[in-house]
Amino acid sequence: MSSFFFIVACTSIVVRMPNPLLAKASVSQQEFDESEARLKSARAGLEMAASKRRQAEARRSQAEAELAAARVALGYATLAAPFPGLVTERKADPGSMATPGAPLLTVEREGNLRLETSIDESRLGLVRISEQVEVEIDSLNRTVSGRVAENVPSIDAATRSFTVKIDLPAMPGLRAGMFGRAAFAGGKREALLVPQSAVLERGQVRSLYVVEGHTARLRLITLGEPRDNRREILSGLTAGEKIIVAPAPLLSDGSRVAIREASK
């Protein structure tokens, strides 16, 4: 018996639809082919332009990201205070590495300065919050009105005093660290005062001459606060006693003295 094999060759058949213009003979085949070529070239150019546009947008996004990173880096190199002020101290040198938590500058805020002063504990009840006090600034040779903002109630065991904080008004030239004096209104009291010239000071020993009859007697005394050209006597002298206002250098305890009435 014989076997027969049949080989069938298959091929694709592309059917090209005739162009209506060609069918109507409105354009020639050459013109049609040239137009079709230009269309393909235009489509290829459009696709290339779209590709370039996508590349340009990608480069733009990258540039914006780099710009944002540069701005962040620039922010680390810029120090901005949250208030207007004056740099009073630089605690880091240019070019040194900054450490988190380590201060770089000390900035003094304009205005809002306070005077901190110590008051004797015996006058604790005389100082009141919001009380107006006169403050003398020595370096500016000015006296301004301040306001008591805080009264620290804790007492310093060594000095037996407490701290009072006084808000000062803004003024040109006023800087932190300046020296000032505050005058508080206190209660009235009687004090025994003698001229400064009557007080003799030898080291820590203070004394003056008291006249007993016609004899000069050296008396040890305890001094209080100075008042103009006078000194307050806390102990060692009683009111009504006669003293020598300007003792001579050779005067000593027991010297005879003569009392003269002051001329009127």
Here the CATH number for the domain that contains residue 165 is 2.40.30.170
Residue 81 and residue 58 in contact, taking contact as beta carbons nearer than 8 Å: no
Per-residue pLDDT tens over the stretch 32-74: 778 888 888 888 888 998 989 999 999 999 999 999 988 888 8
Q: What is the CA radius of gyration of the chain?
A: 50
Domain that holds residue 52: 27-74
* 22 within domain boundaries: no
The tokens describing 22, both together, are 């060609």
Same domain, 152 and 123: yes
Tell me how many domains the chain contains: 3
**d(C-alpha 85, C-alpha 109), whole Å:** 4
Same domain, 131 and 199: no
Same domain, 193 and 176: no
Same domain, 194 and 261: yes
Q: Which of 125, 150, 183 is the last residue of a domain?
A: 183
* 88 within domain boundaries: no
* 100 within domain boundaries: no
Task: Give the residues across from 256 on adjacent strands.
Answer: 215
Q: Per-residue pLDDT for 138 more than 90? A: no
* 19 within domain boundaries: no
Give the pLDDT band of residue 99 (cuts 50, 70, 90): confident
Q: Per-residue pLDDT for 107 more than 70? A: yes
* 79 within domain boundaries: no
**d(C-alpha 60, C-alpha 15), whole Å:** 47
Per-residue exposure over 176-205, b if at least 16 CB sit within 10 Å of its own CB, e if not: eeeebebebeeeeeeebebeeebbbeeeee
* 259 within domain boundaries: yes
Q: Which of 143, 164, 183 is the last residue of a domain?
A: 183
